[in-house]
Copies of this chain bind each other. A is one copy, B any other.
Amino acid sequence: MRINKGVEWAAHACAVLVPLWPDRGLSLAALAEFHDVPEPYMAKQMQTLSRAGLVEGGRGRSGFYKLARPPAEITLLDILLAVDGDEPMFRCTEIRQQGPCGSKPRDCKLPCNIAAGYARAEQAYRDSLAEIDLATLSRSVAAQLGMEKVIQAGQWIGPRVRSRG
Protein backbone atom coordinates (compact mmCIF):
# COMPACT_ATOMS: atom_id res chain seq x y z
CA MET A 1 0.00 0.00 0.00
CA ARG A 2 1.19 3.48 -0.70
CA ILE A 3 0.17 6.84 0.70
CA ASN A 4 -1.18 9.37 -1.81
CA LYS A 5 1.78 11.42 -3.09
CA GLY A 6 -0.20 14.56 -2.34
CA VAL A 7 0.43 14.03 1.38
CA GLU A 8 4.08 14.93 0.92
CA TRP A 9 3.26 18.10 -1.08
CA ALA A 10 0.55 19.11 1.36
CA ALA A 11 2.85 18.66 4.35
CA HIS A 12 5.59 20.74 2.72
CA ALA A 13 3.12 23.48 1.80
CA CYS A 14 1.82 23.60 5.38
CA ALA A 15 5.37 23.73 6.73
CA VAL A 16 6.09 26.85 4.65
CA LEU A 17 2.97 28.53 6.04
CA VAL A 18 3.90 27.94 9.70
CA PRO A 19 6.04 31.07 10.23
CA LEU A 20 3.29 33.22 8.65
CA TRP A 21 0.61 32.20 11.16
CA PRO A 22 -1.78 33.69 12.31
CA ASP A 23 -2.69 36.38 9.78
CA ARG A 24 -0.41 36.01 6.79
CA GLY A 25 0.00 33.50 4.00
CA LEU A 26 1.09 32.87 0.43
CA SER A 27 -0.70 32.80 -2.90
CA LEU A 28 -1.20 29.55 -4.70
CA ALA A 29 1.30 30.75 -7.33
CA ALA A 30 3.97 31.40 -4.69
CA LEU A 31 3.38 28.02 -3.02
CA ALA A 32 3.68 26.29 -6.39
CA GLU A 33 6.80 28.22 -7.36
CA PHE A 34 8.51 27.69 -4.00
CA HIS A 35 8.09 23.93 -4.42
CA ASP A 36 8.62 23.93 -8.20
CA VAL A 37 5.39 22.05 -8.80
CA PRO A 38 2.63 22.81 -11.37
CA GLU A 39 0.06 25.25 -9.97
CA PRO A 40 -2.95 23.00 -10.72
CA TYR A 41 -1.34 20.19 -8.77
CA MET A 42 -0.61 22.43 -5.78
CA ALA A 43 -4.17 23.83 -6.10
CA LYS A 44 -5.57 20.34 -5.68
CA GLN A 45 -3.65 19.77 -2.45
CA MET A 46 -4.56 23.18 -1.03
CA GLN A 47 -8.25 22.68 -1.81
CA THR A 48 -8.12 19.33 -0.06
CA LEU A 49 -6.46 20.89 2.99
CA SER A 50 -9.05 23.68 2.91
CA ARG A 51 -11.98 21.24 2.85
CA ALA A 52 -10.45 19.54 5.89
CA GLY A 53 -10.24 22.86 7.73
CA LEU A 54 -6.44 22.90 7.93
CA VAL A 55 -5.91 25.96 5.70
CA GLU A 56 -8.21 28.75 4.64
CA GLY A 57 -8.43 31.39 1.93
CA GLY A 58 -6.99 30.97 -1.51
CA ARG A 59 -9.83 32.37 -3.55
CA GLY A 60 -9.09 34.57 -6.55
CA ARG A 61 -5.92 36.09 -7.94
CA SER A 62 -5.42 38.36 -4.93
CA GLY A 63 -6.19 35.58 -2.47
CA PHE A 64 -3.77 33.61 -0.39
CA TYR A 65 -3.65 30.48 1.72
CA LYS A 66 -2.94 30.58 5.44
CA LEU A 67 -3.13 28.00 8.17
CA ALA A 68 -6.61 27.79 9.68
CA ARG A 69 -5.44 26.78 13.14
CA PRO A 70 -2.35 27.36 15.27
CA PRO A 71 0.57 25.25 13.95
CA ALA A 72 0.71 23.41 17.26
CA GLU A 73 -2.83 22.18 16.59
CA ILE A 74 -2.19 20.69 13.14
CA THR A 75 -0.43 17.32 13.02
CA LEU A 76 1.02 15.03 10.37
CA LEU A 77 -2.00 12.82 11.07
CA ASP A 78 -4.41 15.64 10.19
CA ILE A 79 -2.60 16.11 6.86
CA LEU A 80 -2.59 12.38 6.13
CA LEU A 81 -6.30 11.99 6.82
CA ALA A 82 -7.16 15.13 4.83
CA VAL A 83 -5.30 14.05 1.69
CA ASP A 84 -5.33 10.27 1.88
CA GLY A 85 -8.76 9.82 3.47
CA ASP A 86 -9.55 8.28 6.82
CA GLU A 87 -10.64 4.82 5.74
CA PRO A 88 -8.86 2.10 7.70
CA MET A 89 -5.98 0.41 5.87
CA PHE A 90 -7.27 -3.03 6.81
CA ARG A 91 -10.95 -3.67 6.30
CA CYS A 92 -12.37 -6.82 7.85
CA THR A 93 -14.79 -8.65 5.55
CA GLU A 94 -15.87 -11.10 8.27
CA ILE A 95 -14.23 -14.13 6.69
CA ARG A 96 -14.88 -15.94 9.98
CA GLN A 97 -18.59 -16.02 9.04
CA GLN A 98 -17.89 -17.88 5.77
CA GLY A 99 -17.67 -21.57 4.97
CA PRO A 100 -18.90 -24.78 6.62
CA CYS A 101 -17.69 -23.74 10.09
CA GLY A 102 -18.49 -20.05 9.79
CA SER A 103 -19.57 -18.21 12.92
CA LYS A 104 -23.05 -16.75 13.15
CA PRO A 105 -23.29 -12.94 13.00
CA ARG A 106 -24.66 -12.89 16.56
CA ASP A 107 -21.44 -14.57 17.74
CA CYS A 108 -19.30 -11.93 16.03
CA LYS A 109 -19.95 -8.92 18.21
CA LEU A 110 -16.28 -8.62 19.15
CA PRO A 111 -13.89 -7.84 16.27
CA CYS A 112 -12.13 -10.79 14.64
CA ASN A 113 -8.73 -11.26 16.29
CA ILE A 114 -6.93 -10.89 12.97
CA ALA A 115 -8.74 -7.63 12.19
CA ALA A 116 -8.12 -6.45 15.76
CA GLY A 117 -4.38 -7.02 15.35
CA TYR A 118 -4.21 -4.94 12.19
CA ALA A 119 -6.46 -2.28 13.73
CA ARG A 120 -4.23 -2.01 16.80
CA ALA A 121 -1.18 -1.50 14.58
CA GLU A 122 -3.02 1.14 12.57
CA GLN A 123 -3.84 2.95 15.81
CA ALA A 124 -0.12 2.92 16.72
CA TYR A 125 0.60 4.43 13.30
CA ARG A 126 -1.95 7.18 13.77
CA ASP A 127 -0.87 7.86 17.36
CA SER A 128 2.71 8.34 16.20
CA LEU A 129 1.67 10.82 13.48
CA ALA A 130 -0.60 12.67 15.93
CA GLU A 131 2.44 13.38 18.10
CA ILE A 132 4.09 15.51 15.41
CA ASP A 133 2.53 18.96 15.13
CA LEU A 134 3.55 21.63 12.63
CA ALA A 135 5.07 23.93 15.26
CA THR A 136 7.44 21.20 16.42
CA LEU A 137 8.08 20.08 12.86
CA SER A 138 8.91 23.61 11.77
CA ARG A 139 11.48 23.98 14.53
CA SER A 140 13.18 20.71 13.61
CA VAL A 141 13.15 21.62 9.90
CA ALA A 142 14.80 24.95 10.71
CA ALA A 143 17.40 23.25 12.89
CA GLN A 144 18.20 20.79 10.12
CA LEU A 145 18.32 23.43 7.38
CA GLY A 146 20.60 25.74 9.34
CA MET A 147 20.56 29.52 9.68
CA GLU A 148 21.88 30.36 6.22
CA LYS A 149 19.24 28.31 4.40
CA VAL A 150 16.42 29.60 6.59
CA ILE A 151 17.44 33.20 5.86
CA GLN A 152 17.57 32.43 2.13
CA ALA A 153 14.04 31.03 2.26
CA GLY A 154 12.90 34.03 4.31
CA GLN A 155 14.30 36.40 1.71
CA TRP A 156 12.42 34.63 -1.07
CA ILE A 157 9.18 34.35 0.89
CA GLY A 158 9.26 37.84 2.47
CA PRO A 159 8.23 39.95 -0.55
CA ARG A 160 5.54 37.41 -1.45
CA VAL A 161 3.77 37.32 1.92
CA ARG A 162 0.15 38.41 1.79
CA SER A 163 -2.16 39.48 4.57
CA ARG A 164 -5.70 40.76 4.84
CA GLY A 165 -6.19 44.50 4.32
Residues of A within 8 A of B (CB): 1-5, 7-9, 11-12, 15, 33-37, 76, 80, 84, 87, 89-93, 95-96, 98-103, 107, 110, 113-115, 117-118, 120-122, 124-129, 132, 137, 140-141, 144-146, 149, 152-153, 156
Contact = CB atoms under 8 A, between A and B. Distances in A.
Nearest to A148: B107
Nearest to A119: B128
Contacts of A93: 5, 8
Number of copies: 2
A9 B129 contact: no
Contacts of A96: 12
A95 to B, nearest CB: 5
Contacts of A153: 101
